[in-house]
């Protein structure tokens, strides 16, 4: 029987970042270019109204949990959500210089150094359980926001996280953090951070090392740090054009930036060919809850004018807004106006999906044998 050809590699594909090369399976989620993100076959639109732990259960077990299963799972996470005092002390000894993602990746690595039982499945759950505390320790420490209070995981996964942040909180902020968390758990297997986490795991490095590496991959401006850059872009547009800017003025602004060879942030995606449904969820949220916020009105104008202008360029394959175009604006409107920590919030969520994907790669793929070490081939090219 002839093997099905999935992809034909030509020399044109070399040095192009493996874009679109099928390399394996992803069981947790998939991204449809037209319909967007699905976790275990369920659309993100539906999942955006669920409890975070219910969504994590779905990702972890591959099925929707019953009420009693979710309650038991929640209890399991609470039981595991403990960081030893000495681990906390090492995290708080990290230098404050550098981007918060440097500290986050290091903190995860530190937690791994004290883990006695290096089992991928066990570690994935414990990591998921302790991530909100690790993230809050890093943010409070790096930002000089004050001493992190004791963790109270029984308050709820994101409720505890927001309470651990020593910044003014509100029900709206908790709601936005929950939504942000759910929308960022997973995005197929091919995005850089997931691929890196899986690749590092393929060398049989432990879960914490693989996730730490994945967080470094996420930290780059072409990947996770785009959400920070996007809010800074929306803020710049607001300061350049003022609160009362009309859509016509925003369109002119975009055209001028493009003419001056300057970047427009928050548009396009490697896979999607429509507006990112995660962005649509956040735009709808922003219109409903923060309709008069100046950042929201500029972000809404950028959404419309950006797509219009970019669509005129035949070289742009996806002129639509992505989630980063609006997620930071919603966080800022809800009271979390700290763009420097947006990528860390992305990492706090994405580590969940990556950890579960690593469990598949290590323990379930190829009838339980696991995937072999990642080892592609580079063609030798002699220096000229
Ligand atoms: C995303 O969440 O959009 C991704 O991680 C980026 C990607 O899929 O390449």
Q: pLDDT at position 384, please?
A: 86
Kindly list the domain boundaries of the chain, sorted by start residue.
36-224+338-364, 226-333
Work out the percent of the chain whose per-residue pLDDT is above 70. 100
State the Cα–Cα distance between residues 145 and 84, nearest whole angstrom: 21
CA atoms within 13 A on the CB side of 149: 10
The answer to whether 242 and 339 are in contact (CB under 8 A) is: no
Q: Which string of DSSP letters, residue by residue, matches 300-345?
A: HHHHHHHHHHHHT-TT-S--SB-THHHHHHHHHHTT---GGGHHHH
Strand arrangement, sheet containing 29-32: 29-32, 36-39, 42-43
Q: Is 133 in the active site?
A: no
Confidence tier at 1 by pLDDT (50, 70, 90)? low
| Predicted model pTM | 0.97
Nearest Cα residue to atom 6 of ligand 1: 191
Q: Is 30 a catalytic residue?
A: no
Strand pairing report for 36-39 and 42-43: antiparallel
Residue 190 pLDDT grade (very low, low, confident, very high; cuts 50, 70, 90)? very high
Contact 37, 277 (CB under 8 A): yes
Average pLDDT for 38-51: 98
**61-97 per-position pLDDT tens digit:** 999 999 999 999 999 999 999 999 999 999 999 999 9
Q: Looking at ligand 1, which atom is closest to the CA of residue 193?
A: 5
Mean pLDDT of 144-156: 97
Does residue 187 carry a catalytic annotation?
Answer: no
pLDDT the model gives residue 95: 97
Mean pLDDT of 226-243: 96
Least confident of 166-170, 278-282, 330-334: 166-170
* Residue nearest (by alpha carbon) to ligand 1 atom 5: 191
Topology of 226-333 in CATH? Cytochrome p450-Terp; domain 2 (1.10.230)
Q: Tell me which of 21, 31, 44, 191 to substitute to probe ligand 1's pocket, judged by most ligand atoms within 8 Å of the beta carbon.
A: 191
Mean pLDDT over all residues of the chain?
Answer: 97
Question: Which atom of ligand 1 lies closest to the CA of 192?
Answer: 9
Res 135: pLDDT: 98
Instruction: Show the tokens assigned to 250.
Output: 């925003």
Q: Is the CB of 327 under 6 A from ligand 1?
A: no
**What are 281-308's pLDDT values in tens digits?**
999 999 999 999 999 999 999 999 999 9
Q: Answer whether 279's CB lies under 8 Å from 323's CB.
A: yes
- Is 278 near ligand 1, meaning CB less than 6 Å away? no
In short, whether 191's Cβ falls inside 6 Å of ligand 1 is yes
Return the SS3 of 112.
helix
Report d(CA 282, CA 36) in Å as an integer.
14
Percent share of the chain, pLDDT over 90 = 98
Mean pLDDT of 217-236: 96
Q: How confident is the model at residue 260 (pLDDT cuts 50, 70, 90)?
A: very high
Whether domain 36-224+338-364 has CATH 3.40.980.10: no
> Which one is catalytic: 269, 276, 301, 318?
269
pLDDT at 201 over 70: yes
Q: Which residue in 88, 179, 176 sits closest to 133, CA to CA?
A: 88
Q: What is the number of the ligand 1 atom nearest to the C-alpha of 184?
A: 2
Q: CB of 270 closer than 6 A to ligand 1?
A: yes
Strand duo 36-39 + 29-32: pairing: antiparallel
Looking at the predicted structure, is the pLDDT value of residue 3 above 90? no
Neighbours of 192 (CB within 10 A): 17
Record the tokens describing residue 111, joined without a space: 């937690």
User: Confidence class of residue 2 from pLDDT cuts 50, 70 and 90?
Assistant: confident
């Amino acid at each position: 029987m002839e093997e099905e050809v999935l992809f034909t590699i030509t020399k044109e594909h070399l040095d192009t970042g493996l874009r679109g090369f099928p390399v394996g399976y992803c069981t947790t989620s998939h991204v449809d270019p037209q319909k967007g993100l699905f976790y275990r076959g369920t659309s993100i639109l539906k999942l955006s109204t669920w409890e975070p732990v219910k969504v994590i259960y779905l990702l972890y077990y591959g099925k929707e949990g019953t009420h009693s299963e979710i309650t038991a799972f929640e209890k399991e996470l609470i039981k595991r959500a403990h960081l030893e005092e000495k681990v906390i002390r090492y995290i708080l000894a990290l230098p404050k210089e550098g981007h918060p993602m440097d500290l986050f990746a290091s903190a995860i690595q530190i937690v791994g150094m004290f883990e006695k039982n290096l089992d991928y499945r066990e570690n994935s759950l414990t990591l998921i359980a302790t991530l909100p505390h690790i993230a809050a320790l890093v943010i409070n420490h790096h930002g000089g926001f004050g001493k992190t209070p004791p963790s109270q995981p029984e308050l709820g996964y994101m409720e505890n996280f927001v309470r651990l942040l020593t910044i003014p909180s509100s029900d709206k902020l908790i709601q936005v953090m929950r939504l942000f968390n759910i929308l960022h758990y997973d995005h197929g297997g091919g995005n850089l951070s997931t691929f890196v986490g899986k690749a590092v795991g393929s060398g049989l490095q432990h879960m914490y090392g693989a996730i730490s590496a994945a967080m470094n991959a996420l930290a780059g401006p072409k990947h996770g740090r785009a959400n920070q850059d996007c809010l800074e872009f929306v803020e710049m547009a607001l300061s350049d054009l003022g609160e009362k800017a009309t859509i016509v003025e925003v369109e002119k602004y975009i055209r001028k930036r493009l003419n001056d060879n300057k970047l427009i942030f928050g548009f396009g995606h490697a896979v999607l060919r429509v507006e990112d449904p995660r962005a649509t969820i956040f735009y709808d949220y922003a219109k409903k809850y923060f309709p008069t916020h100046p950042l929201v009105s500029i972000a809404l104008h950028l959404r419309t004018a950006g797509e219009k202008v970019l669509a005129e360029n035949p070289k742009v394959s996806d002129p639509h807004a992505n989630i980063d175009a609006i997620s930071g604006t919603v966080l800022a409107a809800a009271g979390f106006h700290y763009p420097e920590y947006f990528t860390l919030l992305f990492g706090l969520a994405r580590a969940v999906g990556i950890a579960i994907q690593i469990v598949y790669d290590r323990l379930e793929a190829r009838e339980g044998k696991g995937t072999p070490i990642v080892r592609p081939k580079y063609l030798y090219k002699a220096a000229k």
